[in-house]
Structure 1
Amino acid sequence: MSTTLSLETTRGDRARAMFARNPVLGPTAALVVAIVFFSLATSTFASVDNFSIIIQQSVVVGTLALGQTLVILTGGIDLANAAIAVFGTVLMTRLVTGDMPGPLGLFMGLIGCALVATVSGLLVSRIKLPPFIVTLGMLAVMTAITSLYSQGTTWPVPDGLLTWLGTSLYLFGRIQFTMGMVLAAMLFALLWFVLAKTAWGRHVYAVGNEPEAARLTGIHIDRTLISVYAVAGVIYAFAAWMALGRTPTADPNAYQTGNLDSITAVVIGGTSLFGGRGGVVGTVVGALIVAVLRSGLTQMGIDSNYQNLATGVLVIAAVAFDQATRRRSA
């Protein structure tokens, strides 16, 4: 009897250790289970067209979540990411509407979003303000600035470069995808490479895992934090460009829950809110889990309130699992 219990305990410890080393395994298993469940529960879920729609719907929030991942890996959080992206949509659209060439308008949008996010990074690193407070304030500031700059109205996006990411193509004449999906995949691959294969990526993890130890090894904490927020700002600008491709209007009231949705994707994907653990692979899986859950529940006729309830439960469960894993590994 005692031998059996000992074997079961050993297996349980090995399983926990495996999940601790590979935090993306749990979310991936949850995604597979959700896909199988909804495929069996509905007759419309398991189709090429539906999967294409799910991915298209997750592109903007998923891209916001990529930038959010960088910030959370350092032990911070960015509540203003969606507001920065919405500001980017209005800025690009108004500049191009005012006869600025499309490429220049897009470039100015990238610079504008990067500068705003960099201000948050400076406040966090130089003045040592809590990221939650800084980005909460930046959320209010950018929401107000965007509303004033847009004059409280939506702006139609001129055809051309700003709407190009909405262009649809077909793989094998059957599978629909957009240029926005291609750009999102490229950003994911680039960010994965940078985090996994470069010194900067190792510095990001080190700052989030143990800042004092990182400082003692010669890592410039402030410089790393500022660069993280700046890079995240550029990613938010790309999310703004994708949003214009999906809906060719710059709406100052768009993506009001984009910040929470992006945090949800990051947390469900296995990245720790305490920093230093996780990555963009899990974030992509988390964004797909949220999109699959909402699509499947909608096709089952489940009220949207219950969809939000299910998403909230997933977030709480993911954070609880992360805390439990950290306690066992401590």
Structure 2
Amino acid sequence: MSATEVSSASAEFARRQHSPVQRLQHQLHGKPWLSPLFLLLVAFLAFYIATPTFLTASSMGILFQQTAVVAALAVGQTLVILTAGIDLSVGAIMVLSMMVMATLARDDGMPGIVALLIGVALATGAGLLNGLLVTRINLPPFIVTLGTLSIFTAIALLYSGGSSIQADRLPDTLNFLGEGFGIGEFRITWGIVVVILLYAVIGFVLSQTAWGRYVYAVGDDAESARLSGVPSMRILLGVYTVAGLIYGIAAWILIGRAGAATPNAAPDANLASITAVVIGGTSLFGGRGRIIGTLIGALIVQTFAFGLSQLGVDQQWRYLATGVLVIVAVAIDQWIRKVKA
């Protein structure tokens, strides 16, 4: 018997010695999106039993439309958390970008496509700024983005004068992602289509490119990755910059979804994006997670909010449910990380 056959036989024997719980732990370690998928199915079933209108075509269309903005922000947040960082400025960057593009384009002041590009470029620059502070000055991501959260929020309020801009004052280009098409009573907006494309592109990049492998390596152990020849600082800088670009796209989606641009939009965007990523199985300690899990996590966050709303539950209890979800998700992540060979 060859050495390879002996090794395979030993591994198979060790696997059979594991208890059912240990085998589940191994499965979740390799496929962290399995547990959120199970939770999502349970949530759908529970809300369907509680309120039969939950699973109607029109309700599902509304649910997916409401999920689009959080899901888009969570893509950028996933990239950051995969590197063992965190971005508390996601909502502020999105709102600032939204107000800039809307203010520039309102009442035919500037072509919609130009205003859109400027807004997205501004969001990309904001992400770049976060990345420079983290990589060049070596500040903790939590502190950096906590500071830029306040800075970008203040700039958005000062720039817009605290006033909203309604859709009828904006060009069709900025309102476009709020439009869509129907399949029976199920309505899909172009914003949902853009979010799906975002997930497809970032999922491909993370799983099929060297840059994606480097992102995981930096999150797993930045120093070891550097010693292995991975340009850790450049990867980190790129992650925050790409995240900013995605937040700019999310701003465009938000205008279409809300039918207006307001500096007070999405006040819980930061919490919702982090919650979606963590519930989706991405480890807060970096280096482990899949983008498909983030999409499932975003659906879970919005499913609970939408389902509890249909049941007439107060907003405070919805926040409570979100908090419980986060704690449970982090506890499961800690348990999965203790997996033994």
What is the identity, as a one-letter code, of the residue corresponding to 1:125? Answer: T
Q: 2: distance between equivalents of 1:303 and 1:151?
A: 32
Which residue, out of 118, 121, 128, partners 1:108? 118
Task: Note if 1:89 corresponds to 2:101.
Answer: no
Query: What is the identity, as a one-letter code, of the residue corresponding to 2:55?
Result: A
Deviation at 1:329, TM superposition (A): 4.1
TM-score scaled to structure 1, two decimals?
Answer: 0.95
CA distance in 2, matches of 1:46, 1:256: 27
Structure 1, gaps ≥5 residues long: 1-5
| Whole-angstrom CA distance in 1 between matches of 2:242 and 2:113 | 20
State whether structure 2 residue 123 is matched by structure 1 residue 118. Answer: no
Post-superposition shift, 1:324?
1.8
Instruction: Report how far residue 170 of structure 1 moved.
Output: 1.3
Q: State the Cα distance separating 1:117 from its structure 2 match.
A: 0.9
Partner of 2:335: 324
Equivalent residue runs for 1:167-182 within 5 Å: 167-171=179-183, 173-182=184-193
Q: How far did 1:8 drift?
A: 9.0
SS in 2 for 1:100: coil
1:28 to 34, 37, 47: 37
Give distance in 2, aligned partners of 1:94 and 1:127. 33
SS of the residue corresponding to residue 105 of structure 1 reads helix
1:285 — aligned with what? 296
Residue from 115, 131, 144 that aligns with 1:134: 144
Return the alpha-carbon distance in structure 1 between the equivalents of residues 18 and 279 of structure 2. Answer: 27
The answer on 1:78 being equivalent to 2:90 is: no
Distance in 2 (alpha carbons) for counterparts of 1:151 and 1:11: 59
Partners of 2:231 and 2:79 in 1: how far apart? 16
Does 97-106 or 273-282 show the bigger shift?
97-106
Pairwise CA distance, 1:208: 0.3
Structure 2, unaligned stretches of length 5 or more?
A: 1-14
In structure 1, the residue corresponding to 2:54 is in which secondary structure? coil
1:7 CA displacement: 7.8
Single out whichever of 111-120 and 95-104 deviates more from structure 2.
Answer: 95-104
- The counterpart of 1:196, out of the listed 207, 221, 227, is 207
Aligned match for 2:308, one of 297, 307, 310? 297
Which one-letter code corresponds to 2:225 in the other structure? Answer: A
Secondary structure of the equivalent of 2:330? helix
Distance in 1, Cα, partners of 2:340 & 2:66: 37
Give the conservation status (yes or no) of the 8 Å contact 2:216–2:288: yes
1:161 aligns with 2:170: no
Stretches of 4+ aligned residues off by more than 6 angstroms: none
Larger mean CA deviation between 81-90 and 242-251 belongs to: 242-251
Kindly, what percent of the aligned residue pairs are identical?
A: 48
Which residue does the alignment assign to 2:4?
none
Aligned to 2:286: 275
Shift of residue 37 of structure 1? 1.1
Paired with 1:12 and 1:316, the residues of 2 have a C-alpha distance of: 21
2:263 corresponds to 1:248: no
CA contact (8 A) 2:105 2:171 kept: no
1:246 match: secondary structure:
helix
Q: Counterpart of 1:180 in structure 2: which amino acid?
A: G
Tell me which amino acid in the other structure corresponds to 2:154. A
Q: Once structures 1 and 2 are overlaid, which stretch shifts more, 289-298 or 320-329?
A: 320-329
- Give yes or no for contact 2:80–2:243 (8 Å, CA) kept in 1: yes
Q: State the distance in 1 between where 2:148 and 2:196 align.
A: 28
Matched, 1:40 2:52: no
In structure 2, do the counterparts of structure 1 residues 7 and 223 end up closer, same or farther at CA, with 3 Å as the change threshold? closer
More deviation, 185-194/147-156: 147-156
RMSD of aligned residue pairs (Cα, Å): 1.5
1:216 CA drift (Å): 1.3
Number of equivalences = 324
